[in-house]
Structure 1
Amino acid sequence: MAADRDGARGRARSGPALPAAALPAGRHPLSSGYLAPQDQPHRLVSQALARASRRPAALGRVDPTGVPELRTWFATQADAQPDDVLVCAGTQAALATIFTSLCRPGDAVAMESPTYVGALAAAHAAGLRVVPVHRGADGAPDPHDLDRALQSSGARVLYAQPHGANPTGTSWPARTHQELVAVARRHGCFVVEDDWAHDFVLAGTPRPLAADDPGGTVLHLRSLTKSTVPALRVAAVVGRGPVMARLAAGRTAADLYVSGVLQHAALDVVTGPGWRRHVRTARARLVDRRDALAAAVVAHLGADALTHVPVQGLHLWVRLPDGTDDTALAARADAAGVEVSAGSPWWVSEPGGPHLRVSYAAAEPAQAARGIEVLAALLREAPTGW
């Protein structure tokens, strides 16, 4: 079953999902993968869409690889050239293009475990066999483990989230970047760098793997959907060498091209005077929400429940007591008005203990604190055997 990037597949629900703006009183949105509606740049996007809809160039056929000016903008974000960019209808579409263009059914694809459920869904839809690569204590795969996994599986693609991983919130230390890419290069394996949280950097200045990869091993994914509005499904694959022509052919065969109106609107938003202000404001709000949620987790669930506070991204990876049924807990929490994502579906291999993915993207600090209080109460009431 396909999964959107807010992790809906990993969230137990008792009824149909409601948009954040329509959540009934008393609901605590701790599972969202999008900014709160009041933090999304609705005016910037709606005005950009209106302008784009009046441009003849946006209403006709566009270059299958993307509007040139938008490709140029994406290229500048990864120290690349416009010819290195392929525009796609969101990261999920980009993943489908990569998996079907570079792999055949039955092939292996390596993924960190746990990982984004949408990547798992895209790989399974392409008929691929997913091979787990475990993260170490520093948040990155061990180079020797990666070497063994690629050697034994023959995987030609490694899907990874080096920056603010969903669901764990971890980031690879910069010192590991070149070594891990070198391991993949020795095996002729592409590294798909999902930089989904590029605009949600809360501390530091992370550098994309692709910026230091002139040889074309890394395929960098950058989406604008998370940092704008869910309806603006515009993303790009950035890579170097002959592989880009192969991806372009696969993408074109699937959907010809991405809507010119959406591309022109996206370009208008990210090059307009309000874009940087929006990103700065969103980051400041996320820092406040992250800190409030992390403090609530430690206060009500204990220090052992939170071993990592993210410097990028939208989520906390919360460890539950041994024996807890995370799926049952998520379902009970939902019935009590608290929306969280059970951790089990995010693992590629056997789960390394029960977890919840708890998001600070859309909940105000008071909502988050109350939601964690409810979770703590449910854990205290849990029947024996959870």
Structure 2
Amino acid sequence: MDNDSSSRIVEELRGWIASAPPGSRLPSNRALVARHSASPVTVQRAMRILATQGLVDSRPGVGTFVRAVRTARPLDYGWQTAALRTQPSHATLHSSAMRTAPNGTIALHSGYPDRELLPERLVRNALARAARSDAALSRSPISGLPELQSWFANELGNVTPVGVTPPTASDVIVLPGSQSGLSSVFRTLVGTGQPLLVESPTYWGAILAAAQSGVSVIPVPSGPAGPDPDELARAFEETGARAFYAQPNYANPTGAQWSATLAEEVLDVVRHHRAFLIEDDWAHDFGIDSDATPVAAHDDAGHVVYLRSLTKGVSPSIRVAALIARGPARERILADRAAESMYVSGLLQAAALDVVTQPGWQNHLRNLRQQLRARRDLLITSISEHVPQAHLDNVPKGGLNLWARLPDQTNLQQLVRDCEAEGVLVAPGTEWFPAEPTGPFIRLNYSGANPGAFPQGARTIGQALAQQKRA
């Protein structure tokens, strides 16, 4: 009954407010109680409803008044045009791999493993323990928790051959994800306007980090087996570059893994030119038919700056990575990191260390290898059956992706749009080329959600290609 009464009061007052000038005073609550034979609580409820709807303003001790209607004023940010000047060419560079997939889509575009491939129980338990530890309330050292530094150093030291001095914990800098590490390395070891050699194609995030650092990117062609050492040497000689960014293990996007011979030849070229090899070992934990063998394990003269991330393998929410560098290069990078972010969350470092030192971590990696193999093979079979026009130069021995070449006449952007219209997201290969692409490629992630939909996803790609051929 009270609710009905308050509704009637609201409706009557709304009609009165509609014709009243702004600032008009409403009848007092006492007058409304008498007029509607309602309780004071009912009248107060009605006034709250009107205030919530933005129709009245209440002034305690004075009364309730019709709110003045404010005319919407368009916001003017024109002054920023002059302040910002010309937009940098890299400012709009975004990767389709970072798009969030709507429900019901077949997500072949993503750069991250599906949740079922993550050590969820280990992560949850580790976060709970970290929250109860001192790490939850204390500041981490700039270079990282000593225990985590030691773990990263030992991981590389365990595969260092006899005769090569393994890294120590003091060579390690813990990072809030490897992307920030790339930016620091490019800024400090290459420098604004200076040349940086990169494999082509290569990780889109490295291209972005280089552009934001003002570095001049010089592509070096790289195929299913990696780069040609002679081409790399020629690029060093022609450009005067002092750094080469590469992914020797399960490269993104091609999935290429360098042979031991190629790794040694590339390292010889880098040494000869007294340069740095910036080794991105992002997929270290995603071996399928082989194990990742870091080039950094064969260098103790400071030529290799080594990056390894735990973000994709542990959890996207635990953005923890590490950089291993020796000599003055490490000190320069550390100074840049201190200016950039001061330190990495001790809570996340403690959780990451907890996960990778649990007995269940190795069990998880063994199971992950089997799951990735099954997914990779299913996607390859689906592409072979439904997209016979696509060519796979390489069956990756690890990593998360297939790199497929499409017919030369393919309209890649139209293909991506047509597939998306049918609920299939694919990543156009143009994003992985630092210069003009050498052909129409797509990158397909086999670690995403719902592998049972791979055949349907491949069928959609095949149909979109066939439609282009008929048009």
Higher RCO, 1 vs 2 (CA within 8 Å, ≥6 residues apart): 1
The answer on 1:155 being equivalent to 2:238 is no
Question: What displacement does 1:364 show?
Answer: 3.5
Q: Aligned residue for 1:373?
A: 459
1:62 to 136, 140, 147: 140
Preserved contact between residue 89 and residue 234 of structure 1 (Cα < 8 Å): yes
TM-score, L = length of structure 1: 0.92
Question: What displacement does 1:89 show?
Answer: 0.5
The answer on 1:306 being equivalent to 2:392 is yes
Preserved contact between residue 289 and residue 363 of structure 1 (Cα < 8 Å): no
The one-character-per-residue Cα deviations of 1:351-373 (angstroms, maximum 9, x if unpaired) are: 11101001101144321111000
CA distance in 1, matches of 2:447, 2:323: 25
Question: What displacement does 1:188 show?
Answer: 2.1
Where does the alignment leave 5 or more consecutive residues of structure 1 unmatched? none
Q: Which has the larger radius of gyration?
A: 2
CA distance in 1, matches of 2:236, 2:96: 27
Question: What displacement does 1:240 show?
Answer: 2.1
CA distance in 1, matches of 2:213, 2:454: 37
Q: Aligned pair in 2 of structure 1 residues 2, 40: CA closer, same or farther (>3 Å)?
A: farther
Q: Aligned residue for 1:245?
A: 331
Report the secondary structure of 1:274's partner residue: helix
Question: What displacement does 1:57 show?
Answer: 3.8
Q: Aligned pair in 2 of structure 1 residues 222, 3: CA closer, same or farther (>3 Å)?
A: farther
CA distance in 1, matches of 2:216, 2:233: 17
Q: Aligned residue for 1:100?
A: 187
CA distance in 2, matches of 1:2, 1:337: 29
The one-character-per-residue Cα deviations of 1:139-174 (angstroms, maximum 9, x if unpaired) are: 221111101111111222211011101011111111
Q: Aligned residue for 1:203?
A: 289
Matched length: 373
Preserved contact between residue 95 and residue 431 of structure 2 (Cα < 8 Å): yes
CA distance in 1, matches of 2:470, 2:429: 20
Q: Aligned residue for 2:130?
A: 52
2:408 to 319, 322, 334: 322
The answer on 1:89 being equivalent to 2:176 is yes
CA distance in 2, matches of 1:189, 1:296: 43
1:33 to 106, 111, 115: 111
CA distance in 2, matches of 1:248, 1:51: 29
The answer on 1:194 being equivalent to 2:277 is no
CA distance in 1, matches of 2:308, 2:91: 20
Question: What displacement does 1:191 show?
Answer: 0.6
Between stretches 93-102 and 344-353, larger displacement belongs to 344-353
Question: What displacement does 1:212 show?
Answer: 0.6
Preserved contact between residue 175 and residue 344 of structure 2 (Cα < 8 Å): yes
Report the secondary structure of 1:317's partner residue: strand
- The residue type equivalent to 1:120 in the other structure is I
Q: Aligned pair in 2 of structure 1 residues 203, 376: CA closer, same or farther (>3 Å)?
A: same
CA distance in 1, matches of 2:292, 2:203: 20
The one-character-per-residue Cα deviations of 1:208-266 (angstroms, maximum 9, x if unpaired) are: 10101111111111100010111110000112222111111111111011000000010
Could you list the structure 1 runs, at least 4 aligned residues long, displaced by more than 4 angstroms after superposition. 1-4
Question: What displacement does 1:384 show?
Answer: 6.6
Question: What displacement does 1:301 show?
Answer: 1.7
The answer on 1:360 being equivalent to 2:443 is no
Identical residues among aligned pairs (%): 43
Report the secondary structure of 1:372's partner residue: helix
The answer on 1:288 being equivalent to 2:374 is yes
Report the secondary structure of 1:258's partner residue: coil
The answer on 1:113 being equivalent to 2:113 is no
Question: What displacement does 1:348 show?
Answer: 1.7
Q: Aligned pair in 2 of structure 1 residues 379, 311: CA closer, same or farther (>3 Å)?
A: same
- The residue type equivalent to 2:466 in the other structure is R
Question: What displacement does 1:379 show?
Answer: 0.6
- The residue type equivalent to 2:373 in the other structure is V
Q: Aligned residue for 1:17?
A: 100
Q: Aligned pair in 2 of structure 1 residues 345, 384: CA closer, same or farther (>3 Å)?
A: farther
- The residue type equivalent to 1:17 in the other structure is T
Q: Aligned residue for 1:185?
A: 271
Preserved contact between residue 78 and residue 238 of structure 1 (Cα < 8 Å): no
CA distance in 1, matches of 2:290, 2:205: 27
Where does the alignment leave 5 or more consecutive residues of structure 2 unmatched? 1-89, 158-166
- The residue type equivalent to 2:211 in the other structure is H
Report the secondary structure of 2:227's partner residue: coil
Preserved contact between residue 194 and residue 222 of structure 1 (Cα < 8 Å): yes
- The residue type equivalent to 1:217 in the other structure is H
Report the secondary structure of 1:53's partner residue: helix
Preserved contact between residue 114 and residue 447 of structure 2 (Cα < 8 Å): yes
TM-score, L = length of structure 2: 0.76
Preserved contact between residue 297 and residue 305 of structure 1 (Cα < 8 Å): no
Q: Aligned pair in 2 of structure 1 residues 49, 118: CA closer, same or farther (>3 Å)?
A: same
CA distance in 2, matches of 1:308, 1:3: 31
1:43 to 107, 121, 131: 121
CA distance in 1, matches of 2:305, 2:197: 14
CA distance in 2, matches of 1:296, 1:10: 22
